[in-house]
Amino acid sequence: MFFPPFLIFFAFIFLFVLLLAFGLIQFGLFSWAFAKIGIPPEYLFTLLFLCIIGSMINIPIRRIPIKNDFNDWDTVSFFGMRFRPPRSDHPNEMVLAVNLGGAVIPAVLSLYLLINSPHPLRMLIALAAVTYVVYKNARPVPGVGIAVPWLIPPIAAAVAAMIFDFGSAAPTAYFAGTLGTLIGADILHLDKLRYLRAPVASIGGAGTFDGIFLAGIIAVLLSPVTG
């Protein structure tokens, strides 16, 4: 869950992710992994394209009153980098939005995996474990958003999938990593949004999208283990 001025920063990350995705597709790894989680290879490119393009689309839900006491000269620290928080034409309210590529599309895909899973209860247990880990490591950063170290969601998803659903680790890792990040980092911190002092907050936005994509990479790494 992030917002300007960090969109430019994350745009470079998205470019890297896009190039990585195309590289993996070229070597057939993504086709292999997504086939493991039940997604036909012919739909893979379309799915990735929609997720990456959709990550730039935020759907407004509501406006939330906030306490904005930043001075013009205030800066915040974000993983060792200093930024000046964005200013808004409406300094006492925030727009809450849902990201199409980082929340809506992955949630629909995760629901599809759950419905078609032979062990849905195991997937839900793994989801609960990942949600707890992500929630405990997520931190609200004023002027930035809800921040969580990028490697925590996919690592937690990999471990939970191997423990609770070894036979179907790949789809479980994707399911738990995706929804666990959305729930643990964003949804369970909605009550803290009004204290972030920012104009826009996006559920499944920039930083969360990276965690979700990494969870998909973990599914790739788990595929040969569960073949």
pLDDT at residue 74 is higher than 60: no
Burial 146-161 (b: 16+ CB within 10 A, else e): bbbebebbbbbbbbbb
- Of 215, 202, 212, the C-alpha closest to 6 is 202
Q: Which of 27-41, 145-159, 172-186, 209-223 has the highest mean pLDDT?
A: 172-186
**pLDDT on residue 73:** 41
Task: Supply the pLDDT for residue 149.
Answer: 82
Q: Give pLDDT, residue 79.
A: 47
For residue 204 the two structure tokens come to 């499944």
pLDDT at 125: 98
**What's the confidence (pLDDT) of residue 196?**
72
* First and final C-alpha spacing in the chain: 34
Mean model confidence pLDDT for the chain = 75
pLDDT in tens, 77-127: 544 555 555 555 555 778 888 988 888 988 998 999 999 989 999 999 999
pLDDT for residue 219? 67
User: Which of 33-37, 39-43, 78-82, 178-182 comes out lowest in average pLDDT?
Assistant: 78-82
Gap between the Cα atoms of 22 and 3, Å rounded: 26
Residues for the chain: how many in total?
227
DSSP 190: G
Lowest pLDDT segment from 49-58, 98-107, 121-130, 151-160:
49-58
Pick from 14-23, 49-58, 62-71, 119-128 the range whose average pLDDT is largest: 119-128
Whether residue 5 has pLDDT greater than 50: no
**The predicted structure's pLDDT at residue 64:** 79
- Tell me the pLDDT tens digit for each residue of 181-201: 899 988 998 888 777 767 777
Q: pLDDT category, 2, cuts 50, 70, 90?
A: very low
- The pLDDT confidence band at residue 140, using thresholds 50, 70 and 90, is confident
